[in-house]
């Protein structure tokens, strides 16, 4: 969508708000109490006169969407779309670097697959170096989150160095609310990014399109958020795809994790074969079960629906097998993940690609802005090049998390939670530095990016 099709203007006059005070977003400086929400709704109810959305038309069997103005509800320095592990780190890092940040999330909570997807084991934040020493390679915001989870009841277990900790989804959801609000980030939940906004004019230096924000779908129809830099941390690269960035599309395992309760009440006779009950969590008697699932297309809604239905039937069958085992009667199915476990879909074509061969050989990059660690016993660590976070053909859009540029065998490692913390952290700081330096994300001064990352506790090797 071109910027000129938008109108940020009269709508603000209509609702009596300036650009700095978004109508639906909530930041720490705003009162998020029920009272506040009721007053705003009443205000809109009396003064809002526009149509919520323009309907599509059906003509000659073809559906089309007429051109229409979209109200701009916010203008920000850095817009982060997708509030999973990568997006939350990107948003907090950018805000701590001193710019205005807006974070958009489609669901009612933050944490992405690590909370809504019930993916609870934190793999790959440490590695073993050639001297045989264990080194924590994901530090900074990821480490801060784990330290803060430790201080909350049932927040995290197995924190001993050299082990893979397990977190609790609800505690992590709560912690992220605190961390995002204390960073004064403007937050939009229940908002699904459905389009990118690009400027009418291409970038003078590269001739590439320049991203200027995103359109979100809300209950009131589409609304626009304008930004100087956009970070796509949807995991699926929705916004970079809509902006026209080159990417590769991959099929990968899709599964549905779940949690069981009362597993500490299993008392079986010796010799009884107990079906798999999963791994421990920070809550006594509660276990979580991962599910690998088949290779499938996580962008195809029919496929997603089929997998969701099949996974639920499979979980129920396994649960019944367990419950019908003598001595296991008290076990109950506590929760299936509210969010289907899609691992990899779109991967950005950046200007630098990480490969497993390169990581194993200790490849270094002049543009290093982060570090990651493997989880499959091969204990390698690798540098994250800045070029894996930026598009090769579109300006001012970055990515972090499971969609960063990596060969298929590398994406398998890049997608684990700590590595998403790490690349999200790097993307957030880089976007903030580009805003402060008034340059494109491509031209940002990487020495300054690294300086700020180190100041924020990140490990760069
Ligand atoms: C079944 C399964 C098991 C796994 N096991 C492990 C494990 O044991 N250990 C480990 O460390 N990792 C594991 N992973 C990987 C890890 O959970 C994910 O790769 C990681 O959470 C990705 O983080 P992210 O921030 O890049 O994306 P996500 O966690 O996917 O977050 C993306 C966020 O963006 C939001 N979003 C998406 N599209 C839009 C849109 N259009 N508009 C607005 N918001 C949007 C989503 O709702 C979500 O909150 C597993 C993954 C799966 C699926």
Q: How far, in Å, CA of 369 to CA of 356, rounded?
A: 18
For a mutational test of ligand 1's pocket, the pick from 177, 416, 422, i.e. the residue with the most ligand atoms closer than 8 A to its C-beta, is: 416
Q: How far, in Å, CA of 444 to CA of 270, rounded?
A: 64
Mean pLDDT of successive 10-residue stretches along the chain, which has 461 residues: 52 37 44 47 52 86 93 98 98 98 98 98 87 88 98 96 92 98 98 98 98 97 97 98 98 98 97 96 98 97 98 98 98 98 98 95 96 78 97 98 97 96 98 98 98 98 88
Q: How far, in Å, CA of 106 to CA of 212, rounded?
A: 20
| pLDDT, tens digit, 9 for 90 and up, residues 172-190 | 999 999 999 999 999 999 9
The residue among 14, 8, 65, 66 whose CA lies nearest residue 44 is: 14
Spatial neighbors of 379 by CB under 8 A, at least 6 apart, are 127, 128, 373
Q: Which residues line ligand 1 (CB under 6 A)?
A: 81-87, 104-107, 112-114, 117, 119, 121-123, 192-193, 233-236, 238, 255, 257, 290-291, 341-343, 401-402, 415-417, 420
**Tokens standing for residue 397:** 């859009």
158 in Cβ contact with 166 (< 8 Å): yes
For residue 291, which atom of ligand 1 is closest to its CA?
1
For residue 402, which atom of ligand 1 is closest to its CA?
26
Centre of ligand 1 to C-alpha 84, Å, is 6
- Treating both helix axes as pointing N-terminal to C-terminal, what angle do 169-182 and 140-150 enclose, rounded to 10 degrees? 120
Return the residue whose CA atom lies nearest to atom 3 of ligand 1: 119
Centre of ligand 1 to C-alpha 339, Å, is 9
**Tokens standing for residue 136:** 């924590």
pLDDT of residue 132: 80
**C-alpha torsion sign, points 79, 83, 84, 88:** positive
Reported pTM = 0.92
For a mutational test of ligand 1's pocket, the pick from 85, 90, 112, 189, i.e. the residue with the most ligand atoms closer than 8 A to its C-beta, is: 112
pLDDT of residue 160: 85
Q: How far, in Å, CA of 102 to CA of 78, rounded?
A: 6
The residue among 247, 199, 240, 224 whose CA lies nearest residue 104 is: 224
Return the residue whose CA atom lies nearest to atom 50 of ligand 1: 119
Centre of ligand 1 to C-alpha 80, Å, is 15
Q: How far, in Å, CA of 460 to CA of 449, rounded?
A: 11
Instruction: Provide the phi-psi class of 254: left if phi over 0, else alpha when psi is between -120 and 50, else beta.
Output: beta
218 in Cβ contact with 71 (< 8 Å): no
The residue among 291, 289, 273, 270 whose CA lies nearest residue 281 is: 289
pLDDT of residue 3: 62
Centre of ligand 1 to C-alpha 117, Å, is 7
């Amino acid at each position: 969508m071109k910027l000129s099709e938008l109108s940020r203007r009269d709508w603000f006059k209509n609702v009596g708000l300036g650009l700095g005070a978004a109508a639906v977003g909530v930041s720490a400086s705003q009162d998020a109490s029920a009272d506040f929400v009721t007053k705003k709704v009443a205000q809109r109810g009396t003064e809002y006169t526009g149509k919520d959305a323009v309907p599509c038309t059906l003509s000659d069997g073809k559906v089309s969407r007429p051109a229409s103005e979209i109200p701009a509800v916010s203008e920000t320095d850095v817009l982060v779309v997708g509030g999973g592990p990568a997006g939350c780190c990107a948003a907090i890092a950018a805000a701590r670097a001193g710019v205005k940040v807006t974070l958009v999330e489609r669901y009612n909570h933050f944490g992405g697959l690590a909370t809504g997807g019930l993916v609870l084991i934190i793999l790959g934040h440490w590695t073993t170096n050639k001297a045989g020493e264990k080194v924590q390679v994901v530090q900074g915001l990821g480490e801060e989150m784990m330290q803060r989870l430790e201080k909350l009841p049932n927040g995290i277990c197995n924190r001993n160095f050299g082990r893979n900790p397990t977190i609790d989804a609800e505690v992590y959801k709560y912690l992220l609310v605190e961390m995002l609000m204390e960073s004064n980030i403007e937050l939009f939940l229940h908002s699904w990014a459905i389009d990118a906004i690009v400027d009418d004019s291409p970038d003078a230096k590269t001739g590439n399109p320049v991203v200027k924000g995103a359109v979100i779908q809300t209950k009131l129809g589409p609304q626009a958020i304008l930004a100087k830099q956009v970070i796509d941390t949807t995991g699926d690269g929705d916004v970079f795809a809509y902006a026209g960035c080159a990417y590769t599309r991959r099929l990968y395992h899709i599964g549905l994790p779940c949690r069981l309760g009362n597993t500490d009440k299993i008392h079986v006779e010796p010799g009884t074969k107990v079906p798999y009950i999963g791994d421990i969590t920070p809550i006594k008697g509660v276990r979580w079960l991962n599910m690998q699932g088949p290779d499938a297309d996580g962008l195809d809604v029919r496929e997603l629906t089929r997998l969701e239905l099949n996974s639920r039937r499979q979980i129920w069958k396994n649960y019944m097998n367990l419950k019908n085992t003598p001595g296991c009667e008290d076990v109950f199915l506590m929760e299936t993940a509210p969010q289907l476990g899609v691992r990899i879909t779109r991967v950005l074509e950046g200007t630098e690609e990480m490969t497993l061969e390169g990581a194993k050989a200790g490849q270094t990059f002049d543009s290093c802005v982060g570090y990651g660690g493997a989880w499959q016993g091969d204990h390698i660590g690798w540098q994250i090049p800045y070029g894996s976070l930026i598009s090769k053909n579109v300006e001012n859009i970055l990515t972090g998390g499971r969609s960063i540029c990596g060969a298929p065998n590398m994406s398998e490692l890049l997608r684990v939670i700590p590595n998403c913390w790490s690349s999200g952290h790097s993307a957030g700081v880089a976007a903030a530095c580009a805003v402060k330096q008034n340059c494109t994300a491509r031209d940002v001064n990487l020495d300054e990016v690294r300086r700020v990352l180190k100041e924020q506790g990140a490990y760069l090797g």
